[in-house]
Amino acid sequence: MRTQAILGFLSFTPYVQEYVDAAHSILNHLGSISPYHRAHHAPDINSELPSDCTVDQVMLMHRHGSRGPIGEHKYISHLVQTLDDASDVVQEANLSRELEFLRAGYSSNLTPHNLTILGRKELFDHGVEFALKYPHLTIGEILSSDSERVVESARWFALGFFGLDADVRISTVSNTDDPVSWITPAPGPACPKFDYSFGQQATLTWSKQYLPAITDRLNKLLPGVGFSENDIHGALFACAYDLAARGVSPWCGVFHPEELADFEYERDILMDASCAYTLPDNMAPLVGTVFVNKLIERFTNSSGDSSPLYLEFGHDVTILLALSALGLAKDDPPLSPNELRPDRKFRTSELTPFAANMIWERFTCTRSFDEPQIRLILNDATFPLSICGKGMDTTLGTCSLDTFIKANHYSTGIQFQDETWNKTCGL
């Protein structure tokens, strides 16, 4: 029975890709709640390693797949109630083409927190692709955050990577002996001052600037309903989470490109102020050093027990904290909730969509390079290691492991509960 169910799932071909191809710009404006899509390749960077190079070691950090809403669910519910209360108005209205779907009513049956069927497929597909990319690397254990959707994501990835009959164990961070986890290092006892509310404050500031105009436009298109700004927020979230659940949403076509760009910026400043560069007191880079130090420990085999392959599963926060410690995708000046920055580097649609995957490779070559090299592949695109400065290879976006370690002196100079950590985190 279990095998039949899985085979039935694998034969399911959702229309999400067809929809994605037709509306690719939408996926680029939903921030960290975008369905998975491959990142843009950096110009002039060769994505293929030279033929004399071999990947010896890989460390994967994978975000969970597309899920239902969490805190945003209240806005979607508010929207549904508003439309229900105005159903007579909607039926009698002369609806524009993009709002015609409301004639049949709009309801939402999204399950908060849980992986969607498309989220499961994202992880299964990534497991298959990963196995094809690194057939020479094997592992018998997977590490995950304790979150149910993350553990399930790890299981779907494992099914794609190992197949049905493989004997693989999925452990969670609560079963490790580490005093602080590189997968879920904050918030919590490890850093009590780490506070996601800064992101909420930034979001509130920006949403006050762009939501009123959309609210006014839709109330003119459909007078008598009385859309509030909360309803408009709900419609934007409905667009994103309908995509995550079914691959299509009638709400996505309601918004203009510039309105989606404003929504994307809202999502970016939320994450930037929650767990990246505009979180006060350099908190995010500090906490992100746990991941960077673990990466260096493994790639140098300083502990003497390094594995050729690490498969680990966490959250968008996990990836953004690591990037912050590395100084990658950093804007100067920092992003502000008072002004949209169209040329910004920090775009969570590209950095951490659902099912985002950060792959670190250690590779050696017989001719091209004399020393072991390190490469970052983020969402199927090489992410140039600009932190290495002039030591970065401009063709591949890589640098030597030694150069990488020296470039990360900030991270290697910090340890959990040292003076800097305790002062910053309030321990």
What's the DSSP call for residue 108? -
Reading the block at residue 272, the tokens are 């930037």
For strand 357-365 and strand 53-63, is the pairing parallel, antiparallel, or unpaired? antiparallel
Q: How many Å is the maximal CA-CA distance in the chain?
A: 74
Residues forming beta bridges with residue 188, ordered by sequence position: 191
Exposed/middle/buried for 261, CB within 10 Å: 0-12, 13-18, 19+?
middle
Out of 231, 262, 268, 316, pick the active-site residue.
316
Catalytic residue flag (residue 393): no
Report the C-alpha gap between 20 and 35 in whole angstroms: 9
Report the C-alpha gap between 235 and 267 in whole angstroms: 15
Reading the block at residue 185, the tokens are 């290092």
**What is residue 362's three-state secondary structure?**
strand
Out of 64, 73, 126, 233, pick the active-site residue.
64
Catalytic residue flag (residue 84): no
State the angle between helix axes of 229-246 and 117-133 in degrees (0 to 180), rounded to the nearest 10.
50
| Residue whose token pair is 């990488």 | 404
Cα–Cα nearest to 249, from 395, 69, 61, 378: 69
Do residues 380 and 65 lie in contact, with contact meaning Cβ atoms separated by under 8 Å? no
Q: 130: Cβ–Cβ under 8 A, 6 or more apart, which residues?
A: 60, 157, 160, 161
Residue 362 carries which side chain, given as an amino acid letter? Answer: R
Instruction: Count Cα neighbours of 322 within 13 Å in the Cβ-side half-sphere.
Output: 29
Active site residues: 64, 316
